[in-house]
Amino acid sequence: ALITDGRFSGGTHGACIGHVSPEAAAGGLIGLIKNGDIIEIDIPARTINLKVSKAEIAKRRKNWKPLKKEIKSSWLRKYSKLATSADIGGVLKAD
């Protein structure tokens, strides 16, 4: 299965779950997943569950640091400050 917090044009063969939010960059749970973690997908129930203990998730969250990347384009810099997450509509906030 493909599970992403981004777009996945062209990758839509089989089970695909996109636009997961909150995004990894915002500290969302998807950013704490590691290779080998078990993820349970229940399509009829419309749920996704990370099968990792709450203690392990807390440990990973404590060690998580946001990615600091310089944005050179003024348009992208403005967009990154004003764009909202998909869970609240993926719209631009007013200045």
Closest C-alpha among 84, 64, 57, 16 to residue 4 = 16
* Mean pLDDT on 49-70: 93
Query: Residue 86 is encoded by which pair of tokens?
Result: 């998909």
The pTM of the full predicted model, rounded to 2 decimals, is 0.71
Question: Residue 5: how many CB atoms within 10 A of its CB?
Answer: 20
Which residues are part of the catalytic machinery? Answer: 9
Confidence of residue 60 (pLDDT cuts 50, 70, 90): very high
The tokens for 85 are: 């997450």
Burial class of residue 30 (count of CB atoms within 10 Å of its CB; 0-12, 13-18, 19+): buried
